[in-house]
């Protein structure tokens, strides 16, 4: 059982910074921040969950069934992540590529302390066993000293896959498409640094300040960190309504207003980008239909261009009404991994990209989110993210793009560099 407390905040922005700093004393931290985007229908502006009462950590084998058991047994708020490699639990697939990060395939925990921010109101849900600690915690949070973001990383970034090799692999993917093996594949590459130390909170703050995305997240699981500036929602459940918002289609921003408007218009009319997006929308519609009431799957928005600080993105919104008596974890299991990070047909695409990519994706292109006690949930897509294993002193970020029959390897490579720009800037300066 939980004790609920509500507090009005004088300066929400400052309190959020102090709250994240205060959270670092704990081994288990999930921070989610919508950066005040109103158009994505997030229930909260920001959420912090800390200090595990119980937890589940597992590899991919039977992972969704274990998560279902854990969610049923807690009947409480749980927070955590699904790594991309849970695909091996859903289908007869493997992940044998190099892994420099060694994150568990799945991790969720039941927090002792939970902070939910909406506007200037803070709602606090503490387990009864620690409810009397709130007043002292609030004082401690408000006394956290905010230092200027002057921490310099100076990280030396290496490419796991060099440009010529990337071109050759894209050509192989296009050959698969011409043979009819697949229609589209999301092909990713890793950038990394070894023997490297970073300040996770300061690095996250820099990344978030550059991008200010609607699905930002910070995760700490002991010595492993995710610093994410994700613009993409994977899936949300509100009562019996399911919402998925795949992204396919990216264009750079311009500081010149007229040029920026032109770039946005060109993206909205780009035949290749629209075809990429529509293929993934069809895949998402098919995935949602597995647990939806017949005839309830609807495309609410098709190929709408949203503008973020770094890029323009083409986003579609697909909704469905859930069939009666469907377990919430079953919705995740039947839609995972998200189509925007695989390709179509999904299984064939996953087999081919596993053979061509050099790095195990792990948490990259997986998902971070939470379940409520009522079984609702909200999960992002882990892209535009930095991953850090503090003990191994290994830093990594990956980027990718959709390869279709009309793909130009050079343009695809340039799109990867656009997506990588924020992470590289944060790590090298």
Task: List CB contacts of 136: < 8 A, sequence separation 6 or more.
Answer: none
Q: Return d(Cα 34, Cα 236) in angstroms, integer.
A: 14
Judged by DSSP in three states, 164 sits in: helix
Residues belonging to the active site: 232, 248
Model's pTM, two decimal places?
Answer: 0.96
Helices 200-211 and 409-428 sit at what angle, rounded to 10 degrees?
130
CA angle, 422 as apex, 174 and 154 as ends, to 5°? 115
Judged by DSSP in three states, 143 sits in: coil
**Tokens encoding 101:** 């990060």
Q: Return d(Cα 427, Cα 189) in angstroms, integer.
A: 17
pLDDT for res 149: 61
pLDDT (tens, 9 = 90+) of the chain, 429 residues, equals 899 999 999 999 999 999 999 999 999 999 999 999 887 889 999 999 999 999 999 999 999 999 999 999 999 999 999 999 999 999 999 999 999 999 999 999 999 999 999 999 999 999 999 999 999 999 999 999 987 666 677 899 999 999 999 999 999 999 999 999 999 999 999 999 999 999 999 999 999 999 899 999 999 999 999 999 999 999 999 999 999 999 999 898 999 999 999 999 999 999 989 998 999 999 999 999 999 999 999 999 999 999 998 889 999 999 999 999 999 999 999 999 999 999 999 999 999 999 999 999 999 999 999 999 999 999 999 999 999 999 999 999 999 999 999 999 999 999 999 899 999 999 988
CATH of the domain at 226: 3.60.120.10
Closest CA to 140 of 55, 261, 18: 18
Q: Return d(Cα 328, Cα 239) in angstroms, integer.
A: 10
**Tokens encoding 114:** 């939970």
pLDDT for res 150: 64
Domain that holds residue 422: 2-428
Q: Return d(Cα 92, Cα 348) in angstroms, integer.
A: 11
Residues 403, 181: contact at Cβ < 8 Å? no
User: What is the DSSP secondary structure assignment for residue 15, as one 8-state letter?
Assistant: H
Q: Return d(Cα 185, Cα 346) in angstroms, integer.
A: 8
CA angle, 169 as apex, 183 and 358 as ends, to 5°? 110
Provide the domain count of the chain.
1
Helices 328-335 and 63-74 sit at what angle, rounded to 10 degrees?
160
Task: Find tokens 């609410």 and name the residue.
Answer: 300
Radius of gyration for the alpha carbons in the chain, expressed in angstroms and rounded: 21
Q: Return d(Cα 44, Cα 377) in angstroms, integer.
A: 12
**Tokens encoding 330:** 């079953």
């Amino acid at each position: 059982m939980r004790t609920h407390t509500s507090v009005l905040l004088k300066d929400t922005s400052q309190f959020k910074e102090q709250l994240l700093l205060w959270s670092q004393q704990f081994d288990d931290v999930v921070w989610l921040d919508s950066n005040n985007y109103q158009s994505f229908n997030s229930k909260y502006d920001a959420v912090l969950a800390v200090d595990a009462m119980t937890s589940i950590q597992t590899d991919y084998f039977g992972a969704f069934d274990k998560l279902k058991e854990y969610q049923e047994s807690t009947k409480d708020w749980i927070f955590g992540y699904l790594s991309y490699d849970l695909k091996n639990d859903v289908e007869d697939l493997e992940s044998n590529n190099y892994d420099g990060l060694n994150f568990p395939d799945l991790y969720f925990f039941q927090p002792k302390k939970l902070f939910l921010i909406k506007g200037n109101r803070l709602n606090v849900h503490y387990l009864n066993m620690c409810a009397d600690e709130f007043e002292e915690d609030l004082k401690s949070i408000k006394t956290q000293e905010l230092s200027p973001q002057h921490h310099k990383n100076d990280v030396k970034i290496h490419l796991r896959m060099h440009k010529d090799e990337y071109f050759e692999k894209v050509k192989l993917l296009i050959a698969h498409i011409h043979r009819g093996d697949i229609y589209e594949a999301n092909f990713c590459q890793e950038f990394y640094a070894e023997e490297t130390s970073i300040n996770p909170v300061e690095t996250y703050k820099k990344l978030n300040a550059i991008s200010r995305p609607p699905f930002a997240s910070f995760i700490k699981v002991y010595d492993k960190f995710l610093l994410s500036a994700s613009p993409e929602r994977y899936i949300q459940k509100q009562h019996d309504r399911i919402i998925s918002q795949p992204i396919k289609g990216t264009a750079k921003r311009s500081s010149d207003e007229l040029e920026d408007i032109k770039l946005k218009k060109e993206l909205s009319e780009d035949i290749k980008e629209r075809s990429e997006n529509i293929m993934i929308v069809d895949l998402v519609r098919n995935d949602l239909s597995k647990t939806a009431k017949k005839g309830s799957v609807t495309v609410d928005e098709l190929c709408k261009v949203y503008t973020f600080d770094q890029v323009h993105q083409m986003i579609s919104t697909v909704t469905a009404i859930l069939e009666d008596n469907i377990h919430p974890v079953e919705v995740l299991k039947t839609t995972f991994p998200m189509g925007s990070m695989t390709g179509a047909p999904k299984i064939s695409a996953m087999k081919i990209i596993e053979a061509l990519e050099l790095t195990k994706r792990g948490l990259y292109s997986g998902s971070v989110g939470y379940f409520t006690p009522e079984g609702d949930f909200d999960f992002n897509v882990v892209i535009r993210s930095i991953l850090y294993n503090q003990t191994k002193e290994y830093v990594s970020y990956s980027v990718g793009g959709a390869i279709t029959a009309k793909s130009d390897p050079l343009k695809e490579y340039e799109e990867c560099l656009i997506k990588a720009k924020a992470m590289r800037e944060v790590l090298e300066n």
